[in-house]
Structure 1
């Protein structure tokens, strides 16, 4: 059944191409007029398209026009009572669930916002809220999406971020570490110098023994060649 539908779609598409070609060859309509008609059809489609939603009631829903707040307001928002009423003491991504089968999404979504408008259902935790955005100065939000031990970005399949916001997170974490707003974590290494000194001595003794054996073998060969 599916194959029949595919073949019928291909047949209709090829027939439409042939009809346009025959029309152009016969000189009934020029290519410029055809392109103009296509542009007019696109313009009509844009006029008929639904205008974007601007009311805060529709925030995070498909068709909503995203206007991110300034950084100062975003920082204040994390300390406000409205933030606690929505998210509580948990991270932003804790109660987020994407509309997929299973616990985690198999593939990351490329982006949730196209042309400034939310184009998908269940947008990621950052795209759906106007008062949340990644910045190297907004350390409290960055820490929610970073591992506490290393401050590396967490797996986006756990946090639910889209691919675009995950890249922004990585960039802002690197900026924060370079500019000193977040600490850099290094793996501590302890060296036992006695062990290394002992190993160096043992290695030098082995080299001396190998050199002595080599000198002895070369001298024996030289004596045998003379005789």
Structure 2
């Protein structure tokens, strides 16, 4: 973690079959869509936007021997970019799609995170080392975003070199969000990523409606991660919005 969390971790989750897709985007195209308190980070002059589908599995609270009812396992698809707040690097999420009513309701109500309900499926072909992921958003009053990906790893696992673009994108250990007039920080912790290069066939509509399609028309930087155990820490209030 970049900075030590104030309290012990409170929940655990295992992320499985993650696909990381990253596109460079001009700073001036993305800056208007990131809240003003946050500094939009760049790497070699470009801002970056990423789309990440995965399975969140074996969810449990600290001290509980079993998984959580209703949200023991659910599929998720997020759209994010990379920011700093008061000098600390983190992630800003534009959207989360999930197939769990409880996860969507809880995240929207408690943390004001942009979770949206979607019909989702994930199919694994272990023989071909291939994953097929599909999502169709069904959240009321939101664009009916559609996403499809067929992906598989194409290399051995490795850790990203410190200072590289991949390390800059992957090794982030908190999200920042705004709730009312408060800036919230959600710390997480996990071991460094063991990533594989990957290939992906992707189709999507209205998942990133605020950007021109031209920015996502080029081939993305793509990585795959088989599994990662993650610990979540209590959200912290780290700032206030001046009105």
Task: Please give the TM-score of this superposition, normalised by the length of structure 2.
Answer: 0.14
More helix by share: 1
Q: Higher RCO, 1 or 2 (CA under 8 Å, sep at least 6)?
A: 2
Task: Please give the TM-score of this superposition, normalised by the length of structure 1.
Answer: 0.15
Kindly name which structure, 1 or 2, has the bigger radius of gyration based on alpha carbons: 1
More strand by share: 2
